[in-house]
Structure formats: structure tokens, C-alpha cells
């Protein structure tokens, strides 16, 4: 039994914070931010909207898009490092709000690689026949752990949610191969220290450029495919220079890499599903297309998937 994506959804807060807005509150510039990160603006959730609220909006859309009901969901996996509170989990809060009464629920803490961890976990349950429909949500309210006095991190992050319903798909469709990894020795390079995100940008950059490219090539090899087979690269939207390095490793033209980092910044676990929704809405993903999704994050963690689009 193959596991694939049946439906997707996303939620982005209305408030837009531009680089020009940041220029007013810290020693930075639009030119500095754009040339180093590719980010032009990001969305920031208000005080009245927490992580579970954004997750709920994205999840509803994904369930509707999949053509199933909340009662059909067997398991809810929420990838986040910014839960409303330590417990109950965002996934349990989501289960109650959706009315997904038969669903088990748990959160996954793998930072920006969280959605990849969620999809790959869901794949196992579906392919064994244990569960039929699994909801995966990547969601972050990073603004609440961002130090707005630290120009090295404050310019990077945004809030948002992306969700997918996974289930059985036809032969040859769905997840063809995957790679998951972690390197705890690098945990010191990207962490929440006290109340805020702390990052060694140089070390994270080196790790990400190496790992994103390697993981993308590894999942293609595992699936018996080549770089020429890739229709769309969907990298974690962290930094345009890291993303471009991954694209170049696959020898792909610019139009074959999805890009939302300029509009939304780094939304961590939400970035990959948000990017796929954008591509679908633009009509750039067709039945049978080969997608390579790859993410990396604090932990350090990483994950990649080769997926044949379609049901």
C-alpha cells in the first residue's frame, strides 16, 4: 500500500512585517536582509492567535481538500517547537476542535524538519494498514520566541501553518523514498536559549548547504531515479542562498524550485506544506510529477522525501 498526499491546506496571519518595518526598530536594512536571506517580508500572528489556532485553520482546509471528514482521521501529528503550552499538546487541542474523535494525537519536535518527520511517520502507519487517514500539520508562532533586538535572527522568521492529509494512493504514486537524520552534536548551533532563538549562522549555513544537497540526491538514488527526473524541488524555505545551493546540486533550472521565502520568511515546520499549496494554486504541480522535499532544522535534524504526485 502506497502512502501519499490526499489534500493540503495552509494558514498565514494577515499582518505583514516588511524589511522597511524592521529598519525602524533595529540596525539593519532592506538591502542587507534581501541579499543575505532573500526575505522581503514575513507574516506575524497577533496576540489573539496562538499556534493551535493557526493549526486549526490549515487543518480544516486540508481535510476539505482531501474530501474526507474529521471523523475519518485516525491520527494527528503536529510538528512544532512553539506549542501554546508544554501540555496538552497542540495535536490534542486540534483533535478536540476538529471533532476528530477517533484520532490518536501527538506532537513532533524536530524544528524545521518537523513536517518531513511527520510525513515519514505517517507513511509507516498507512503502509502497514494500521491507519488510513493521517493529518500532519507543520505550524509555528516563532514570533513569540524571537528576540526583536537581535538583528541576526529577528529578520529571518515568520508565523504560519501548513497541513496535509495522507492516505493510501495508487501504485507508483505517493512517497517513493525517504531519508531521516539527526546530529545532536550540532544542537548548540541552533536552539532556544532562555526565552529566545539563538543561532550560529555560519555553522548552520554550512550544515544546511551540505545536508540539503546530499539528502536530495540520496532519496533519488533510493527511488532509482536521477536528477533529470525531478519536476519540482521543494526545499525548506530558510535562506535563498541555501536553497539555491540545493538546486544547483540537482542541476535544476530556477523554475523547478519553489520559492516562498521572500514573502513569508522562515516558517520552520510550516514552510514546505505552505510552499506546495502555493505551487498547486499556481497550477505548477501536475499528476505524475516528481517532487523532492527536503528540510533541515535545530537538533540538528534533517529529512527528505521523493514523492510522485497524485492519488
Q: Which residues are catalytic?
A: 112, 236, 266
Q: How far apart are CA 158 and CA 199, in angstroms?
A: 16
| Dihedral sign from CA coordinates of 176, 73, 97, 279 | positive
CA 153 to each of CA 26, 28, 156: distance values in angstroms, whole numbers, following the listed order: 12, 11, 5
End-to-end CA distance of the chain: 12
Q: How far apart are CA 1 and CA 171, in angstroms?
A: 8
Closest Cα to residue 11, out of 150, 158, 148, 161? 161
Angle between helices 271-281 and 114-127 (to 10 degrees): 80
Three-class DSSP category at 140:
strand
The answer to whether the CB of 52 falls within 8 A of the CB of 97 is yes
Q: 3-state DSSP helix/strand/coil percent for the chain, to nearest 5?
A: 40, 25, 30
Q: How far apart are CA 258 and CA 250, in angstroms?
A: 14
The answer to whether the CB of 25 falls within 8 A of the CB of 188 is no
The answer to whether the CB of 226 falls within 8 A of the CB of 218 is no
Amino acid at each position: 500500500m502506497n502512502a501519499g498526499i490526499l489534500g493540503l491546506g495552509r494558514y498565514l496571519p494577515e499582518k505583514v512585517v516588511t524589511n522597511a518595518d524592521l529598519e525602524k526598530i533595529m540596525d539593519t536594512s532592506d538591502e542587507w536582509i534581501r541579499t543575505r536571506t532573500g526575505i522581503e517580508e514575513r507574516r506575524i500572528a497577533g496576540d489573539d492567535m496562538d499556534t493551535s489556532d493557526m493549526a486549526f485553520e490549515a487543518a480544516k482546509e486540508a481535510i476539505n481538500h482531501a474530501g474526507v471528514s474529521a471523523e475519518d482521521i485516525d491520527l494527528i501529528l503536529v510538528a512544532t517547537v512553539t506549542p501554546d503550552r508544554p501540555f496538552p499538546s497542540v495535536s490534542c487541542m486540534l483533535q478536540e476542535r476538529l471533532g476528530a474523535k477517533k484520532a490518536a494525537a501527538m506532537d513532533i519536535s524536530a524544528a524545521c524538519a518537523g513536517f518531513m518527520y511527520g510525513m515519514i511517520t505517517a507513511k509507516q502507519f498507512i503502509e502497514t494498514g494500521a491507519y488510513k487517514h493521517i493529518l500532519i500539520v507543520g505550524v509555528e508562532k516563532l514570533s513569540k520566541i524571537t528576540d526583536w533586538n537581535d538583528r541576526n535572527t529577528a529578520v529571518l522568521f515568520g508565523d504560519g501553518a501548513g497541513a496535509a492529509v495522507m492516505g493510501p494512493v495508487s501504485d507508483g504514486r505517493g512517497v517513493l523514498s525517504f531519508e531521516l537524520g539527526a546530529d545532536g552534536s550540532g544542537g548548540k548551533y541552533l536552539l532556544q536559549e532562555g526565552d529566545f532563538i539563538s543561532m550560529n549562522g555560519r555553522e548552520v549555513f554550512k550544515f544546511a548547504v551540505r545536508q540539503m544537497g546530499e539528502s536530495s540526491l540520496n532519496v533519488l538514488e533510493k527511488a532509482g531515479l536521477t536528477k533529470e527526473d525531478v519536476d519540482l524541488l521543494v526545499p525548506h524555505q530558510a535562506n535563498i542562498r541555501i536553497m539555491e545551493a540545493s538546486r544547483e546540486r540537482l542541476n535544476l533550472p530556477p523554475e523547478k524550485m519553489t520559492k516562498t521565502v521572500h514573502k513569508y520568511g522562515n516558517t520552520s515546520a510550516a514552510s514546505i506544506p505552505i510552499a506546495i499549496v502555493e505551487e498547486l494554486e499556481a497550477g505548477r504541480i501536475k499528476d505524475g510529477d516528481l517532487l523532492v522535499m527536503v528540510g533541515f532544522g535545530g537538533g540538528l535534524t534533517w529529512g527528505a522525501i521523493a514523492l510522485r504526485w497524485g492519488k
